Amino acid sequence: MSSQLQIIQQPSRLGVESGRAKLLIKQPRADFQIETSRAKMEISQPRPEMEIDQHQAWRAYNGGTALEMNNQIYSELPALFLEGLAKRVEQGNRMAQFHLPGNSIAEIYGGDWQRDPFVEYRAPASYDNVDIYVRQRKPEINVQPIRPKITAKANYPEIEYSPGFLNVYVKQYASIQFIPPNVDITM
């Protein structure tokens, strides 16, 4: 019988346990403070200019200046002269036909008792004889802006850290066992 040496080997076994680390980060918003002031503003409104021209109204009322009156008279005299001349010619033509009834001297000149019209030396009257001119001026606006005051304060982040763990241990130690053969002593 052959004898054999038995070797029993047991490897080592390790156990590992781990937990994750926890990291919590909070970032609060920055604090802002904004201060504003009203802008400086100056507004001035110049008065409008008004001009009233009544010259044509005065011409219609009293004829205006002497020069204007004379110009008006001289401008209308030719027409007045021609009108008077036409009237006299008509009267002469009627007198030439004295043999017709109604053309006697008494009838022609008897009805002519009214005075001949004189030249109108006044300008025509109208509601539009007074001219009003208004010149408006734009307002003067001066604005002096004031910049706002901005204050900012950054807040640091809040960091919470919980470390994880790592546990390494030996579950089974390595071992070697030698079992010698059975020796028969009786031999």
pLDDT digits (tens, 9 = 90+) for 114-146: 777 777 778 888 888 899 999 999 999 999 988
- 16, 181 contact by CB (below 8 A): no
User: What pLDDT sits at residue 134?
Assistant: 93
In this structure, which amino acid lies at residue 47?
R
Question: Per-residue DSSP letters for 41-66?
Answer: EEEE-PPPEEEEE-HHHHHHHH--SH
Q: Does residue 135 contact residue 47 with C-beta atoms inside 8 Å?
A: no
Is pTM beyond 0.85? Reply is no
Q: Is residue 122 within 8 Å of 62, Cβ to Cβ?
A: yes
Backbone angles phi, psi at 14, to 5 degrees: -105, 145
Return d(Cα 48, Cα 137) in angstroms, integer. Answer: 6
Give pLDDT < 50 ranges for the chain: none
The per-residue pLDDT for 43 is 92
Tokens of 146: 């004031």
- What amino acid is encoded at 105 in this protein? I
Residue 59: the pLDDT is 86
Residue 108 near residue 95 (C-beta atoms within 8 A):
yes
Q: Look at residues 118, 127, 120 and name the one whose alpha carbon lies nearest to residue 64.
A: 120
d(CA 178, CA 9): 9
Residues 6+ apart with CB under 8 A from 96: none
Q: What is the pLDDT of residue 187?
A: 61
Q: ∠ CA 155-27-156 to the nearest 5 degrees?
A: 30
For residue 42, the model assigns a pLDDT of 92
